């Protein structure tokens, strides 16, 4: 990872590696600390819970949306909308969401697409919506009708599922090594 991979003693993650996971094919609840602004905990595909916790801790981010309807991709629990854990000012975005977007392969050159093959994304990530992608980004680039956020979607054959649905048959995760290994 671009940041301290062992932050908060949660183990290391190798963003440039990926592993297919088929079990457990269930949803898990994100921890309360992971949610932004007192939002109720939401569900995520259980096979991605370690990834989510690792990214949230390492990049000091919180979740504004996970598995819920009304978005283009998170219905099966393989996507997150994220904001800085600290007060949302330019410095907070520069220290959290911006570095994660870049570490996942996002760049201004591919921002309008956010997807591979236009973006050279790390193997486990399908889409990064940030500055340059409509209705995504930090407060300085997101319009009045768009709540600022970074959106990430993991690789899944169910990518694009917008209605809440069961977990897909498989997902591609970032390998996370337990702390002390």
The C-alpha atoms of residue 66 and residue 29 are separated, in whole angstroms, by 10
Q: State the burial class of residue 73 (Cβ atoms within 10 Å of its Cβ: 0-12, 13-18, 19+).
A: buried
C-alpha dihedral (144, 119, 173, 53), degrees to nearest 10:
-40
Nearest of 155, 157, 137, 158 to residue 146 by alpha carbon: 137
Whole-angstrom CA distances from 21 to 13, 24, 107, 125, 165 are 16, 8, 28, 14, 18
Strand partners, 62: 83
The C-alpha atoms of residue 142 and residue 19 are separated, in whole angstroms, by 33
Q: What pLDDT does residue 100 have?
A: 97
Query: DSSP class of residue 181?
Result: -
- Is pTM beyond 0.75 here? yes
Cβ-contact 86, 60 below 8 angstroms: yes
pLDDT, one tens digit for every residue, the chain (181 residues) = 444 333 444 567 899 999 999 999 999 999 999 999 989 999 999 999 999 999 999 999 999 999 876 666 667 899 999 999 987 788 899 999 999 999 999 999 999 999 989 999 999 999 999 988 888 888 878 766 778 899 999 999 988 777 788 899 999 999 998 765 4
């Amino acid at each position: 990872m671009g940041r301290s991979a062992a932050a908060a003693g949660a183990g290391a993650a190798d963003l440039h590696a990926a592993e297919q996971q088929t079990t457990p094919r269930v949803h898990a609840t994100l921890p309360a600390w992971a949610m932004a602004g007192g939002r109720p905990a939401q569900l995520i595909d259980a096979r991605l819970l370690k990834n989510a916790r690792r990214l949230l801790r390492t990049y000091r981010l919180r979740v504004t949306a996970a598995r819920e309807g009304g978005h283009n991709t998170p219905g099966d629990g393989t996507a997150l909308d994220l904001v800085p854990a600290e007060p949302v000012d330019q410095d907070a975005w520069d220290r959290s969401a911006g570095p994660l977007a870049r570490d996942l392969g996002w760049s201004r050159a591919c921002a309008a697409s956010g997807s591979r093959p236009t973006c050279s994304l790390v193997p486990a990530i399908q889409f990064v919506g940030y500055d340059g992608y409509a209705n995504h980004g930090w407060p300085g680039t997101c319009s009045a009708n768009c709540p600022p956020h970074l959106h990430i979607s993991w690789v899944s054959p169910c990518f694009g599922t917008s209605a809440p649905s069961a977990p897909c048959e498989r997902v591609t995760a970032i390998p996370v090594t337990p702390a002390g290994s």
